[in-house]
Every structure is written in C-alpha cells, then in structure tokens.
Amino acid sequence: MDVTTARERLKDMLAELDRSIGVLKGDPVAVREYSAADAGSDLTDADRAQAMLTVATAQRRAVVEAIERIDEGVYGRCVDCGKPVPEGRLEARPEAARCVQCQGKRERRR
Ligand SMILES: [Zn+2]
C-alpha cells in the first residue's frame, strides 16, 4: 500500500472516529445502536459508552500517530524493531504501529 492511499484511509478513519467520539460524549443513549453486538451484557449504557469511548480514543491516537509516521517518512516500519510491517497487516489495519511479533509481545505484557 502506498503512503498516499494509507494517508487517505487514515484520514477517513480519523473522521469516523471523531464522529463516534462526538456521539459517545454527547449522547450516551445513542450508543445502543453502536453496541448491538454485545447486547445482553449487564453493563449500563453509561458504562458501555465509557468503555467504547476509551477504545475509540485509543484508536484515534493510533491513527494520528500513523499519520505522523507518514509525515516523518517512517510509515510501515515497526516502531519497536524497525522491520517492515507486512503489507497485509497494513491493509487490514493501516494504523498498525508494530509487526505481528512485537504487537504480540506487547499484548502478552499487559
Ligand atoms: Zn517489530
């Protein structure tokens, strides 16, 4: 994926996330339509909105950082080991900052 395409996709994602975050902050009840998938859990709407806001905010940061890496000319390289992030991974997740191995290590540490 070339950086022009990556930048466009990241900008789209950013706009989408900003919209979601705006909704989540402004109207927690509207969250129901976003979270139909996990209906049945006993979280309140406010808890669910908060959880989704946390996820959306973290993803927004990842997208912003990916755009910064494009600007710095280091996009597509793993921020931990410096090896190229596989094309397929970037296609699926243009905001990915790490190769699969480094991401795996990071997630196991949590
Ligand atoms: Zn790596």
20 alpha carbon to ligand 1 midpoint, in Å?
30
The predicted model scores a pTM of 0.81
63 alpha carbon to ligand 1 midpoint, in Å?
18
Burial class, 39, CB count within 10 angstroms (exposed 0-12 / middle 13-18 / buried 19+): exposed
Average pLDDT, the chain: 88
Query: In whole angstroms, what is the distance from residue 85 CA to residue 53 CA?
Result: 28
Query: In whole angstroms, what is the distance from residue 57 CA to residue 41 CA?
Result: 22
Radius of gyration of the chain (CA): 16
**Average pLDDT of the segment spanning 40-54:** 80
pLDDT-based confidence at residue 26 (cuts at 50, 70, 90):
confident
pLDDT at 11: 98
Whether residue 61 is predicted with pLDDT greater than 80 in this model: the reply is yes
